[in-house]
């Protein structure tokens, strides 16, 4: 534990939903839900306006629609969110060399290591300055927690939401934690919380009063010791600048179970290619190929194969995944498929092409793996996903508000415009095409306007419901 609150935790406010509201003027101040829109989709992020109705992350999308039927339901734009995250992480690294990202929208910063703070006053000033810079650069808001350790800094940022700053003064940690629910502590989920409640323990103070031996008896040695230390505000974990990537993987959940074996094979080939693209994007390779299959009855099977050396070659990964699939019975139907690579390295093994050739020669003949992937990668028509960007030859930039029955509805507006008009087109309209997202904050003199330039703050626009187009 430190003697000064120089550990900072930043958590962007309802990040995905806030980014969508900032880029779409018609959605500002409205309920927005981002996630998978199929029958089995889940909520990734809900705006604070949607949370009023009880919608929250990880909730089934069908339940969210029942709670907030008039909300805007959008498909995530991860490349867009990642570009904003890179801007935010750049600002954090300007504060300190020790930045520990936890996700796209969350990170710890060691202010002391960057000599950005050394006491409460300087830490508070650094936090205020950081929030202002984030708003000026991205047009978005984030909440900041400052404390003497990582656990308390994260709790402080949670208390600061939305768009606030909370600093926990050294020496006040126990008093602050005491009355809080046990669920406030990291690692205490619904099951552990319910187990503690049945033992008469509902607050952090009651954890401390129960004693370490009782917690070990209730929760086991490792969890009991850790929980008791947290209840006493003890957390000596350092801020780690680089968290080693252990694996790279992709997976898809399907709205309707896949029964056709050929379709399953095509999906595995497609996932293998996506996984390799992500692997190469990170400058990595890997030795172990992993296949994940969740069947119709929710049983999940994982199969793996370790190669002679690391690879980032799509043909090798495709063939390994196909071999793993051969040992899995999918006749009842498949609801989820995933392909991953672990045993990562930053180099490749050149003789893996020879290995793949040898294995093909030893096994039964099969159709070339590359052919169906090309067919899968070239759909007959665009998929107009709600929330994604488009451009019309005459009307300019807009976003998809909904689609179906051969029609796509588009609202034409930009981050700097007024709420735009809505038009409907045929899905094959030659004047309509997918587009890249526009920046939330204009670069140049106008950027000095900060959040107002990005349009994320200001008076209520007084709009009616947005229509029938359908993480904190």
Report, as residue numbers or ranges, the catalytic residues: 106
* Residue partners of 380: CB distance under 8 A and separation at least 6: none
Strand ranges (E), 23-104: 32-35, 43-46, 72-74, 99-103
391 burial (CB, 10 Å; 0-12 / 13-18 / 19+) is middle
Cα–Cα distance, 114 to 93 (Å, whole number):
9
Alpha helices in 78-172 (DSSP H): 78-95, 120-138, 150-160
Distance, in Å, from the CA atom of 88 to the CA atom of 130, rounded to the nearest integer, reads 9
Cβ-Cβ contacts under 8 Å for 347 (sequence gap 6 or more): 285, 310
Q: Report helix, strand or coil for 469.
A: coil
Separation between Cα atoms, residue 366 and residue 372, nearest integer Å = 12
- Residue 274: left (phi > 0), alpha (psi -120 to 50), or beta? alpha
| Residue with tokens 């990668």, as numbered in its chain | 377
Closest alpha carbon to 437 in 401, 389, 385: 389
CA–CA dist 164, 336 (Å, integer)? 39
Beta bridge partners of 88: none
Tell me the backbone φ, ψ of residue 208, rounded to 5 degrees: -65, -40
DSSP string, 333-387: -EEEEEEEEEEEESS--TTHHHHHHHHHHHS-----THHHHHHHTS-SS----TT
Residue 30: which residues within 8 A CB-CB, separation 6 or more? Answer: 21, 47, 49, 71, 72, 463, 466
Contact criterion met (CB below 8 Å) for 61 and 73: yes
Alpha carbon distance, N-terminus to C-terminus of the chain: 27
d(CA 189, CA 204): 14
């Amino acid at each position: 534990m430190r003697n000064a609150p120089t550990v900072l935790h930043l958590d962007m406010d309802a990040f995905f939903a806030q980014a969508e509201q900032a880029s779409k003027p018609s959605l500002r101040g409205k309920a927005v839900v981002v996630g998978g829109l199929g029958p089995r989709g889940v909520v990734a992020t809900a705006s604070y306006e949607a949370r009023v109705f009880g919608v929250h992350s990880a909730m089934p999308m069908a339940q969210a629609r029942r709670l907030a039927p008039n909300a805007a339901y959008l498909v995530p734009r991860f490349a867009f969110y990642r570009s904003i995250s890179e801007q935010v992480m750049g600002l954090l690294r300007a504060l300190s060399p020790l930045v520990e990202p936890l996700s796209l929208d969350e990170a710890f910063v060691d202010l002391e290591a960057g000599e950005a703070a050394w006491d409460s006053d300087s830490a508070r000033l650094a936090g205020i300055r950081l929030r202002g810079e984030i708003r000026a650069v991205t047009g978005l808001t984030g909440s900041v927690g400052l404390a003497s350790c990582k656990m308390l800094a994260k709790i402080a940022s949670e208390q600061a939401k939305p768009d606030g700053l909370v600093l926990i003064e050294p020496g006040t940690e126990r008093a602050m934690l005491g009355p809080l629910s046990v669920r406030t502590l990291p690692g205490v989920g619904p099951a552990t919380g319910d187990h503690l409640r049945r033992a008469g323990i509902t607050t952090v103070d009651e954890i401390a009063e129960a004693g370490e031996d009782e917690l070990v008896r209730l929760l086991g040695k490792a969890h009991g010791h850790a929980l008791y230390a947290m209840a006493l505000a003890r957390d000596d974990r350092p801020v780690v600048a680089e968290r080693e990537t252990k694996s790279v993987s992709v997976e898809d959940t399907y709205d309707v179970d896949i029964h056709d074996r050929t379709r399953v094979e095509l999906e595995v080939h497609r996932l293998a290619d996506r996984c390799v693209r992500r692997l190469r994007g990170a400058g990595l390779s890997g030795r172990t190929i992993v296949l994940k299959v969740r069947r119709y009855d929710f049983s999940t099977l994982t199969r793996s194969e370790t190669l002679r050396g690391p690879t980032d070659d799509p043909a090798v990964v495709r063939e390994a995944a196909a071999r793993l699939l051969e040992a899995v019975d999918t006749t009842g139907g498949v609801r989820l498929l995933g392909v991953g690579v672990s045993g990562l390295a930053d180099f490749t093994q050149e003789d893996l092409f020879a290995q793949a050739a040898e294995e093909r020669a030893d096994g039964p003949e099969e159709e070339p793996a590359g052919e169906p992937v090309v067919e899968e990668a070239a759909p007959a028509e665009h998929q107009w996903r709600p929330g994604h960007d488009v451009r019309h030859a005459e009307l300019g930039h807009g976003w998809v508000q909904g689609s179906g029955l051969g029609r796509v509805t588009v609202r034409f507006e930009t981050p700097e415009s007024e709420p735009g008009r809505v038009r409907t087109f045929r899905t094959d309209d030659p004047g309509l095409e997918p587009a890249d997202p526009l920046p939330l904050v204009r670069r140049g003199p106008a950027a000095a306007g900060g959040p107002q330039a990005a349009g994320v703050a200001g008076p209520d626009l007084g709009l009616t419901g947005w229509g029938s187009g359908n993480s904190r």
